[in-house]
Amino acid sequence: MCQANDNGDRLAVSSVSPGNAGKVEIFIKTSQSNDGSTQNSFALAQTLTGVASDGSSINTAFGESITMSKDGTALIIGAPGVDGTLHPDAGAVYYYKWNADDSTNTYTLQQTISAPESSTNMKFGTSLDINDAGTRVIIGAENFASSREMKFDAGEKTFDLQDTTIVDSNIGSGGAFTATMYNTKFVVDDRLVTNNVTADDDFGKGVCMTDNSVFVGAPKDDGNTTSDGSTKVVNDGTVACYDLAVNGEYAWKNLVTEKSLIDTDKLGKVFEFNKKTKQLQDYYDLYDPIKGRILGGADREININTAWDPATYNVGDKANLKTPWAERTIGGVWWDLSTVKWLWYEQDTQEYKHNHWGQTFPGSSIDVYEWVESRLLPSEWNNRIEGTGTTI
């Protein structure tokens, strides 16, 4: 198979031979396009190969299907022979991006799209197509087994007042899945279904996608009837068409979008200024503890903020006799961050932010310690603090 971008200066050619993983070779046009010549020349720029999960390179069928966006930025490669964790030949699809780091004119792997259903031999990635913008992909799985409701006595017999249905699998009926790019990743967001598909119809063997429509072929479907209308024509094939109900709206609808968080590094001093007297009345502290901004008075008193004990000890399991925690640390203050958890207050409505800004999570605590010098052992010090020891 081969795919080219709209300018015709980038070409992807796949090669799949029995017993090999397969490969896709990328060719770049080297001949001039403005010299009137009709002889085009291409140079091999890159070779992409498929490797199985166990490190081998056998029978993944990498490159059996490929598709490229209009500008050539997105390259999608199918490998229907890739084995899943528990299911042989489950299939996989690989998303490559051209010049992803703006420094090398090559394709780099951005994402592996695994088969969304747990099924053996479904061959996810048998066929592929992508829209011009490179943001939606249709993926065929010709051996996928769709579900069908079993009928008894031509549908006359029912169970539990029609509350119970018995479902069987259409072996080899085929399937087709759409994957849409949300932010920077493709997500398999829909499986296309049709009531006409039966066993061994190869639904998804051929696929085509535009911005607002998807076409899926089932070459072994019994679609038409004979001229007298008595019987169906065997394996004459059908094509199913799917259109978006609303242009630009796909299977997943956005319910809530997180707003950008406050960037405390961009905030300067906040103060109150009296226009009448032209004098500063007061300064205000920025309080955003999740981002490390606490009130200035407390911040000035704390020397160390860590989630671990920064002290070194000359006794115990990890004794350190070289750098004792001695006179130079007396009076130092440590805030133990391991015991405090904050509500994620910068979310939801403005009212929620106002009511929960800077609140600690239930069960957490603010623990601040000061290093002191004493003749008491730690255990004796604790007893004295608790009021059970002898006063010295």
How is 22-53 classified by DSSP, letter by letter?
-EEEEEEE-S-SSS------EEEEEEEE---T
Alpha carbon 36 to chain centroid, angstroms: 47
CA-CA-CA-CA torsion sign (197, 199, 203, 204): positive
pTM confidence score: 0.66
Report which residue type is found at 365: S
Nearest to 384 by CA among 373, 333, 376, 368: 376
C-beta of residue 5 within 8 angstroms of C-beta of residue 72: yes
Q: What is the CA radius of gyration of the chain?
A: 33
Angle at 375 between CA 381 and CA 317, to 5 degrees: 70
C-beta of residue 115 within 8 angstroms of C-beta of residue 90: yes
The Cα–Cα gap between 198 and 218 comes to 10
The Cα–Cα gap between 287 and 264 comes to 10
pLDDT of the residue at 22: 84
Please give the chain's pLDDT, 392 residues, in tens. 899 999 888 999 998 876 667 889 999 988 765 556 566 788 999 999 876 555 555 678 899 999 999 999 999 999 998 887 777 888 899 999 999 888 788 999 999 999 888 777 788 999 999 999 999 999 999 888 877 677 777 777 888 877 787 777 777 788 899 999 988 899 999 998 887 777 888 888 999 999 889 999 988 887 777 666 667 777 788 899 999 888 878 888 777 777 788 888 888 788 899 999 999 989 888 889 998 889 888 999 999 999 999 988 887 777 887 887 878 889 999 999 999 999 998 888 889 999 999 999 999 999 999 988 888 877 787 777 665 555 55
pLDDT of the residue at 383: 76
Write out the CATH class of domain 2-243.
mainly beta
* Tokens at 306, concatenated: 């860590």
Angle at 201 between CA 83 and CA 244, to 5 degrees: 85
Where do the domains of the chain lie? 2-243, 282-385
